[in-house]
Amino acid sequence: MTIKPKSKPDFFDKVYKVVEKIPYGKVTTYGAIAEVCGIKSAARTVGWAINGAKESGLPCHRVVNRNGELTGKLHFGDPNLMEDLLRSEGIEFTDNGRVVMEKFFWQPEL
C-alpha cells in the first residue's frame, strides 16, 4: 500500500483563500495577494487565477491594480459592472476613475 503525502495547496488555491477574505467595502491588489501567497512577482498569475474564478461567487471585483485602476473590468462582461459593484459597497473613486487606495486598501494575510 502506498501512502500519498498530503499535497500543499497550489498557488491558485491560496489566491482564492485570500480573495474570499477581502472585506466588504475594501479592495486589495494583485501584487498584495501574490506577496502573501509567497511569490511577490506573480501579480499577473493572480490575475489569471481571478479571471478563472469570476463566476465562483468570490468577491473578485475587489481586486484592483496597485494604482487603484480597474484593470480586470473587461472580464466581468459589462465594463461598468466592477465599478458599480465597488460603488455599491461605498468604495470611492478619484476624478480619474481610480479607487481611493489610502482609504479603501486592505492588506491581505493567509
Specify the length of the chain in residues.
110
User: pLDDT (tens digit, 9 = 90+) per residue, 27-74?
Assistant: 999 999 999 999 999 999 999 999 988 789 999 999 999 999 999 888
In a domain, 71, yes or no: yes
In a domain, 67, yes or no: yes
Domain extent at residue 57? 11-104
Higher pLDDT, 92 or 74: 92
pTM metric for this prediction? 0.89
Rounded mean pLDDT, 19-25: 97
Percent above pLDDT 70 for the chain: 92
| Cα–Cα distance measured from residue 65 to residue 79, given in angstroms and rounded to the nearest whole number | 16
In a domain, 91, yes or no: yes
Q: Is the pLDDT of residue 103 over 60?
A: yes
- 3-state SS record for the chain: CCCCCCCCCCHHHHHHHHHHHCCCCCEEEHHHHHHHCCCCCCHHHHHHHHHHCCCCCCCHHHEECCCCCCCCHHHHCCCCHHHHHHHHCCCCECCCCCECHHHHECCCCC
Asked about 37 being catalytic, the answer comes back as no
Q: Is the pLDDT of residue 5 over 70?
A: no
Residue from 27, 49, 60, 86 carrying the catalytic annotation? 60
The number of folded domains in the chain is 1
In a domain, 56, yes or no: yes
